Amino acid sequence: MQFAIICEDKPNSVELRQSTRPEHVDYLNGLGKTLVFAGPFLDESGNPCGSLVVIEAADQAEAEAIAGRDPYGHAGLFESVTVRPFRLAFNTTTST
């Protein structure tokens, strides 16, 4: 089952995001095939202001546990985190 982890950054936290990014990237890489895709939300200036991470997990509890281990969260970057069941219905893009 797939889950979308939707994270909104706290205001004025670009510096915190950048300083914590290496640990976050290591964490995502360590998820292996559990990770479906991930990337940042951008504000009107093109700066990251949140994250979308889609994962495979057995259930809601497992998905929430994966979200809870993200180094960004441990660093206090997020204002909110929502974990929702997700179903990929269409995929017509390639990564850039």
List, for residues 1-26, the tens digit of each pLDDT value.
999 999 999 999 999 999 999 999 99
pLDDT, position 92:
77
Q: What pTM did the predictor assign?
A: 0.92
What is the spatial distance between Cα 39 and Cα 2, in angstroms, rounded to a whole number? 16
Alpha helices per DSSP H over 1-96: 14-30, 60-68, 71-74
Domains for the chain: give ranges and CATH numbers: 2-86 (3.30.70.1060)
pLDDT at 95 exceeding the cut of 70: no
Those residues whose C-beta lies under 8 Å from the C-beta of residue 96, and which sit 6 or more positions away, are none
**What percent of the chain lies above the pLDDT cut of 70?**
96
Other Cβ atoms less than 10 A from the Cβ of 74: the count is 14
